[in-house]
């Protein structure tokens, strides 16, 4: 229990303290005088204080009660002593203090309940609902743009301003002006703890607390005195809930204009913690993730060897750039779920829509460019349960190393490098030989040893089917030269470029060879030639 709470809950008329920082000390309320006890606040009398065994350390607090007026010489007590004055008798004051001993245990239990709310919640809405139950009054959580992130509890019917806030999703400017002009917000900011204010019009009390994280103001946590009267213990509880809301906002990427992204849900889905599709959909729905859409998964990587803090900042950056996306830190990277819009039966005009969605997002592309990051993009999909498989695509795409390190290309699409990925996987398993038509490998080796261009000619014949003129133009050769090479390909390598199966074998092997590199060609066997 904080010393501030102790003083708020006792029947006192004044207090004298060494410095205000002591008010934030979290202490155990002890019923007995215990000299120098670390982390303990205990009750003593002036006689206790004047005795030689008064505490001499700063690890604990002696609370000295004086009935009536305190002599001025004691108005500046030592750091480990707090003088309080009041009108009640010492015995009545001791009784009130003893009640705090029991209440401190209750507070500890409620704090633990709030912490469990934080651990078990996947979004701010869920956290707000559970926090409201523990606090016992309705709550409203807003961000720095006055946008309502979450509400919970029964909002009073006689407060149209609060109802309008909930309905519109934003705190009205008139309410914000009132809070500013009345000095409420400045008082909360300067004190760094919640305060109680009373609306004069309807006599409804409200607790206002600023959400901070890493010393940055991230929003506000308001509780309304509806169900029961707010006590000093409630204020401490609301302060604790506010700090947890800051952690929740940071964890979910909710800052500034960013609204709850449900990143913890995505992390759990990627980790395989959910196997039930309906449960996944419900959690995503609560986190405001669009459902019944086509999606792609992005894996954003940056500095090699960077840790969690770095990627937490990357996540905030990416989440802010790709509006409506869901991101989480996962496996030394940021993983982003991006909606491509309503799912269609065909579904795979999605290649084009994905490229348009990502490449035309100047903020996202700028974030990649300015921070030397790359985004690896999966195949489009419509079933959210596929995210683990799509993440594997992104990882394999990265491992395939399809780009030169010097390349300025920032976004790598799986469908553009499918063959390289397949080749990389088979190579890693030691089975790359299974992918290759030996005739095509031999052609590649022959070209290298003789300075010929048979493989390039064969590839162009497939690229321009039924159009020798275009193929010859692409090769920058005369049509007669083109036809000569096509005939020689049949003679030397037993490939019929008019046969569909041979054309498929040629195209596939050529792409795989491109991905595997020159070593495979060097190891190939040449056919018998005359």
Burial 293-325 (b: 16+ CB within 10 A, else e): bbbbbbbbbbeeeeeeebbeebbbbbbbbbeeb
Q: How far apart are CA 139 and CA 116, in angstroms?
A: 18
The answer to whether residue 353 scores a pLDDT higher than 50 is yes
pLDDT digits (tens, 9 = 90+) for 394-416: 999 998 877 665 567 899 999 98
Q: Token pair for residue 41?
A: 């606040």
Q: Identify the pLDDT of residue 510.
A: 86
Domain that holds residue 449: 432-523
3-class DSSP state of 339? strand
pLDDT category, 528, cuts 50, 70, 90?
very low
Contact 239, 209 (CB under 8 A): yes
Q: Identify the pLDDT of residue 253.
A: 56
Q: Identify the pLDDT of residue 298.
A: 95
How distant, in Å, are the alpha carbons of 213, 312, 314, 334, 369 from that of 309? 14, 5, 9, 11, 20
180/47 same-domain check: no
Average pLDDT over residues 118-131: 84
Residue 427 covered by a domain: no
47/157 same-domain check: no
Contact 453, 475 (CB under 8 A): yes
Q: From 357, 383, 416, give the residue that closes a domain.
A: 416
Contact 473, 458 (CB under 8 A): no
Residue 475 covered by a domain: yes
Q: How far apart are CA 115 and CA 109, in angstroms?
A: 10
Contact 315, 329 (CB under 8 A): yes
The average confidence (pLDDT) of the chain is: 81
Q: Of 463, 444, 468, give the one whose Cα is nearest residue 454.
A: 444
67/41 same-domain check: yes
291/198 same-domain check: no
278/379 same-domain check: yes
The answer to whether residue 110 scores a pLDDT higher than 80 is yes
Residue 8 covered by a domain: yes
* Burial class of 52 by CB neighbour count within 10 A (0 to 12, 13 to 18, 19+): exposed
293/411 same-domain check: yes
pLDDT category, 259, cuts 50, 70, 90?
very low
Q: From 416, 449, 479, give the residue that closes a domain.
A: 416
Q: Of 97, 92, 88, give the one whose Cα is nearest residue 68.
A: 88
Residue 196 covered by a domain: yes
Is pTM beyond 0.75 here? no
Q: How many domains does the chain have?
A: 4
411/503 same-domain check: no
Q: From 224, 252, 280, give the residue that closes a domain.
A: 252
173: Cβ contacts below 8 Å, ≥ 6 apart? 146
Return the CATH number at 160: 3.30.450.40
Contact 432, 423 (CB under 8 A): yes
90/134 same-domain check: no
Q: How far apart are CA 154 and CA 384, in angstroms?
A: 34
The answer to whether residue 93 scores a pLDDT higher than 80 is yes
Residue 125 covered by a domain: yes
Residue 113 covered by a domain: no
516/397 same-domain check: no
Average pLDDT over residues 387-394: 92
Name the least confident of 151-165, 224-238, 451-465.
Answer: 151-165
pLDDT category, 478, cuts 50, 70, 90?
very high
The answer to whether residue 232 scores a pLDDT higher than 60 is yes
285/389 same-domain check: yes
More confident: 307 or 361: 361
Estimate to the nearest angstrom the gap between the alpha carbon of 237 and the chain centroid.
25
Residue 89 covered by a domain: yes
283/365 same-domain check: yes
Q: How far apart are CA 455 and CA 507, in angstroms?
A: 10
Contact 35, 59 (CB under 8 A): no
Contact 124, 260 (CB under 8 A): yes
Residue 110 covered by a domain: no
Name the least confident of 31-35, 264-268, 275-279, 356-360.
Answer: 31-35
pLDDT digits (tens, 9 = 90+) for 296-315: 999 999 888 887 777 877 88
Name the least confident of 100-104, 168-172, 256-260, 450-454.
Answer: 256-260
Q: Identify the pLDDT of residue 426.
A: 83
Return the CATH number at 318: 3.30.70
Q: How far apart are CA 62 and CA 60, in angstroms?
A: 7
3-class DSSP state of 501? helix
301/346 same-domain check: yes
């Amino acid at each position: 229990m904080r010393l501030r709470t102790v003083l708020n809950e006792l029947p006192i008329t004044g207090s004298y303290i060494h410095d205000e920082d002591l008010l934030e000390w979290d202490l155990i309320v002890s019923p007995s005088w215990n000299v120098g006890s670390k982390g303990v606040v205990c009750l003593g009398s002036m006689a206790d204080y004047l005795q030689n065994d008064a505490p001499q350390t700063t690890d604990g607090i002696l609370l000295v009660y004086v009935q009536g007026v305190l002599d001025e010489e004691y108005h500046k007590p030592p750091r480990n002593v707090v003088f309080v004055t009041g009108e009640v008798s010492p015995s009545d004051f001791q009784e009130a203090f003893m009640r705090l001993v029991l209440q401190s245990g209750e507070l500890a239990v409620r704090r633990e309940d709030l912490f469990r709310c934080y651990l078990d919640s996947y979004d701010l809405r869920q956290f707000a609902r559970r926090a409201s139950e523990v606090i016992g009054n309705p709550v409203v959580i807003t961000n720095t743009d006055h946008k309502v992130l979450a509400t919970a509890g029964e909002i009073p019917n006689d407060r149209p301003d609060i109802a309008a806030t909930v309905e519109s999703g934003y705190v009205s400017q008139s309410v914000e002006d009132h809070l500013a002009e009345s000095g409420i917000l400045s008082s909360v900011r300067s004190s760094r703890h919640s305060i109680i204010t009373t609306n004069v019009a309807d006599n409804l009390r409200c607790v206002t607390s600023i959400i901070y994280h890493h010393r940055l103001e991230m929003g506000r946590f308001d509780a309304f005195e509806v169900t029961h009267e707010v006590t000093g213990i409630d204020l401490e509880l609301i302060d604790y809930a506010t700090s947890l809301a800051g952690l929740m906002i940071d964890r979910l990427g909710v800052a500034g204009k960013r609204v709850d992204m449900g990143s913890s849900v995505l992390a759990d889905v990627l980790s395989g913690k959910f196997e039930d599709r309906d449960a996944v959909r419900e959690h995503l729905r609560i986190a405001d993730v669009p459902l019944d859409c086509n999606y792609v998964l992005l894996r954003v990587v940056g500095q090699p060897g960077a840790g969690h803090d770095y990627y937490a900042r990357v996540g905030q950056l990416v989440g802010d750039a790709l509006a409506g996306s869901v991101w989480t830190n996962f496996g030394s990277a940021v993983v982003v779920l991006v909606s491509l819009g309503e799912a269609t039966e065909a579904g795979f005009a999605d290649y084009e829509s994905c490229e348009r969605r990502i490449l035309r997002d100047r903020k996202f592309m700028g974030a990649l460019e300015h921070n030397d990051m790359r985004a690896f993009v999966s195949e489009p999909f419509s079933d959210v349960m596929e995210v683990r498989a799509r993440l594997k695509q992104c990882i394999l795409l990265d491992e395939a190393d399809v780009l030169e390190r010097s390349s300025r290309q920032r976004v790598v699409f799986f469908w553009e490098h499918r063959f390289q990925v397949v080749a990389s996987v088979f190579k890693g398993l030691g089975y790359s030989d299974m992918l290759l038509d030996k005739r095509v490998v031999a052609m590649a080796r022959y070209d290298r040893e003789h300075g010929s261009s048979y493989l390039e000619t064969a590839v162009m014949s497939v690229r321009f089917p039924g159009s020798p003129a275009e193929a010859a133009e692409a090769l920058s050769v005369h049509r007669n030269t083109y036809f000569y090479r096509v005939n020689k390909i049949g003679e030397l390598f037993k490939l019929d470029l008019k046969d569909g199966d041979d054309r498929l074998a040629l195209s596939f092997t050529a792409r795989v060879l491109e991905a595997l590199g020159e070593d495979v060609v060097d190891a190939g066997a040449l056919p018998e030639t005359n």
